């Protein structure tokens, strides 16, 4: 018989916490809170401008 190809891994709780924080940032970033948006946009990816 073939062996199972599942790999065991350690569950890291901090990853879920970090993802939750980032989701909150996305929700706030789509709101109209200028002072908070200016902080969030420090980490925002810049837009790629198309060459014309």
Annotate 8-35 with DSSP letters as a single string: P----HHHHHHHHHHHHHHHHHTSS-HH
pTM: 0.50
- Give residue 1's pLDDT band: very low, low, confident or very high (50, 70, 90): very low
pLDDT in tens, 12-49: 999 999 999 988 877 877 777 667 767 767 766 666 67
Is the pLDDT higher at 7 or at 2? 7
The owner of tokens 């990853």 is: 15
For the record, the structure tokens of 30 come out as 């789509």
């Amino acid at each position: 018989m073939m062996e199972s190809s599942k790999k065991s891994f350690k569950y890291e709780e901090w990853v879920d916490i970090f993802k939750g924080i980032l989701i909150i940032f996305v929700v706030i970033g789509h709101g109209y809170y200028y002072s908070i948006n200016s902080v969030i946009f420090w980490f925002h990816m810049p837009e790629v401008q198309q060459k014309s």
